[in-house]
Structure 1
Amino acid sequence: MTERSISQGSRPEPMDADGYRRLLEAHLPGIEIRTCEPITDGWSSYVLEVNGRRIFRFPRRPEIAHGVETEILLLPLLAEALPVAVPSYDVIARDRPDDPALFVGYDKIQGQQLHRDSLPVQTQRRQLARDIGELLSALHSIPTDGLATANVAPVTADGWRRQYQAMFERAQQDVFPLLDVEAQRAESAFWHEFLDDDENFSFVPALVHADLGPEHIICDYGQSRVVGVIDWEDAQIGDPAMDVTGMLNEMGEAFAKDVLEHYAGNTDQRLPNRARYYARVVPYHHIWFGQETGAQVHVRQGLKRIGLHTVVD
């Protein structure tokens, strides 16, 4: 693993792809860049693919950079425990040794993102669902008492409940005023239905990816296999149901059901319902992100999703 440092004053402002490229070249002066393509403009990080084989991720905000610091410590543990590849950071760039990472770099995990339109064959869909179920089984069985070395904070089911109670209070303050009276009533009932049911907080906390959307699952479609999982900066101890949410939202109920058929935690009968709850919370995150960044398109998208109250069929 390589860590590079330059003085604070020499840091360019990464406003666009060229800015991020300059930041890359400032920290890695010997790098030969033949091609440099932005491959995602996500909420958390800006990502460049260099020469078709290297990935560089640039955290957008300080809290994301701190998440990357946890990820740096966690990834070696995941590499040993999981049946698929995870990023192996061999470049960690900082302004000063004690500063959070400006960017990280690793060899690209070759493959394509999981996408429902790429699964025309039923047997292929079932094999990929099996791989994801087995992946989640391995992830959620990692002993949580050994994660202190990766700065993963412990949490109880009661502590998880308090986090979502605070989220509900935030929703009432920031989101409910954007809804009409009928929608406010329906959303309040939805939150109370989840938060007031003790059975929803009887789960055993586990290490979760916490952002396991299809875009973070890398597949070899020729072999019908999942080969990697990326972007672990949100990883935390929490409700295992959270890691099924992305399958519900983007791949649909049928695919999520196939995943759970191969999941070792499928004796948790409440898990699918909790996953649906987290899926309904996703639009709130769109709204909050839009409010924090001034990107009204995300606010509008979130409000539209709240009005629909649906996940993919």
Structure 2
Amino acid sequence: MARTHLTLAALATSAVAGIDVVAASRFGTGAHGDFDSALLTDRDGKHWIIRVPRNDRAQAEQSADLVALRALSAGVRERLPFRVSTFAGQTPFEGTRACVYEFVYGSKVPLHEISPELATGMGRAIAAIHSLPTSFVADAGLPTQTALDSRRSCITVLERAAATGLVPAGLLARWGRATEEAQLWQFQPTVIHGSLSADSFLVTEGQVSGVLGWQDLRVGDPARDLFWVLGASDEYVSDAALESYGRERGNIDRQVRHRAMLYAELEIAKWLLHGTQERSTEIVDDAVQMLDGLIESIANDVMNPIGEQRLPAASVDEVEQLLTRSERAL
């Protein structure tokens, strides 16, 4: 049963010493999300967010997010051209905990509404994350993945997807060649957000004002923070983001776009694996349909490795539908 915004407001007074809440309203996705959330206003006019997990998955995400936010010290945050939420306090509640954060202002822009100008700003924001020193991640005990680790994780997904017998042979061959191409995996790991999507960015007056959802913060393949933009229906959007990213980063590996393409395609394989794990015929059928659509979209290129040229990604509708379905199912 969802907790009311009034209950959440009362919890906030226990979580943060001295907070005087004068207004509260429900915030987020309501009954279909992983969290009960409320937007709070204190007597000074400052805004806060309180969240209570609804399930074990959300609780794990919350815990990881707290570790990441604490690792993002004031010195680290000064290097970023946008705001990151600050953890303010917590209180136990019904076997879990309610956490309060300072509110970060801005609006989310759906992938299909992102303009090339906004994409340019997003590319700069991602580059700023990837330019952070890796030492603070290691000091916080967060994951550190080498290029070899990234390659092995793709191989694992490929092998598990192949075992289902539901992935077209052309895609298995295409992904297999990509994992075997040594040049594709010659890159320097960086600090990465780890779970970026269009939904991660907050925008104010056409500029990136904040980035949310830091639970997968780690050192790893920078391409993991870029694959989502390849789903934009307007290719100028993905080009603008990647070109801006490249300008900010300077000398980066020349294969980052191609690995991003591989990650984008493997997201569908992961959706298939989720469906088989949950024994959901609906999810499996949906994933198979998406895989069939992908093989059709690259029908003229299946014999060419991903690293040789830019090939079509899933459409914006497919990407957004996949993300939405994943959030509802997980």
Give TM-score, length-normalised by structure 2: 0.73
Matched, 1:311 2:314: yes
Could you list the per-position Cα deviations for residues 175-207 of structure 1 after superposition, in whole angstroms to 9, with x for gaps in the alignment?
x33x2xxx4312321221221111121011011
One-letter amino acid of the counterpart of residue 139, structure 1 = I
- My pick for the range that moved more, 157-166 or 296-305, is 296-305
One-letter amino acid of the counterpart of residue 55, structure 1 = I
Question: Which residue is 2:328 aligned to?
Answer: none
Aligned residues: 281
Q: Following the alignment from structure 1 to structure 2, what is the Cα–Cα distance between the partners of residues 200 and 132?
A: 24
- My pick for the range that moved more, 276-285 or 125-134, is 125-134
Question: Which residue is 2:100 aligned to?
Answer: 105
Q: Alignment partner of 2:142: what SS?
A: coil
One-letter amino acid of the counterpart of residue 186, structure 1 = G
Give TM-score, length-normalised by structure 1: 0.76
Equivalence map 1:262-281=2 (5 Å):
262-263=244-245, 264-265=248-249, 267-281=252-266
Equivalence map 1:214-233=2 (5 Å):
214-220=198-204, 223-233=205-215
Q: Alignment partner of 2:85: what SS?
A: coil
Instruction: List alignment gaps of at least 5 residues for structure 1.
Output: 1-15, 120-124
Following superposition, the deviation at residue 152 of structure 1 comes to 1.6
Matched, 1:88 2:78: no
Equivalence map 1:195-274=2 (5 Å):
195-220=179-204, 223-250=205-232, 252-263=234-245, 264-265=248-249, 267-274=252-259
Q: Is contact 2:120–2:241 with CA below 8 Å preserved after alignment?
A: yes
Matched, 1:160 2:139: no
Following superposition, the deviation at residue 89 of structure 1 comes to 1.3
Matched, 1:50 2:39: yes
**CA 202–36 in structure 1, closer or farther in 2 if over 3 Å, else same:** same
Q: Following the alignment from structure 1 to structure 2, what is the Cα–Cα distance between the partners of residues 146 and 32?
A: 38
Question: Which residue is 1:128 aligned to?
Answer: 118
Following superposition, the deviation at residue 214 of structure 1 comes to 0.6
One-letter amino acid of the counterpart of residue 281, structure 1 = L
CA RMSD of aligned residues (A): 3.2
Q: Following the alignment from structure 2 to structure 1, what is the Cα–Cα distance between the partners of residues 80 and 70?
A: 15
- My pick for the range that moved more, 223-232 or 156-165, is 156-165
Could you list the per-position Cα deviations for residues 113-142 of structure 1 after superposition, in whole angstroms to 9, with x for gaps in the alignment?
1224545xxxxx233122112112211111
Q: Following the alignment from structure 1 to structure 2, what is the Cα–Cα distance between the partners of residues 25 and 251?
A: 44
Percent of aligned pairs with the same amino acid: 21
User: Which of these residues, 120, 133, 137, is aligned with residue 127 of structure 2?
Assistant: 137
**CA 294–17 in structure 1, closer or farther in 2 if over 3 Å, else same:** farther
Matched, 1:286 2:310: no
**CA 151–217 in structure 1, closer or farther in 2 if over 3 Å, else same:** same
Question: Which residue is 1:68 aligned to?
Answer: 65
Question: Which residue is 1:122 aligned to?
Answer: none
Question: Which residue is 2:322 aligned to?
Answer: none
Q: Alignment partner of 2:178: what SS?
A: helix
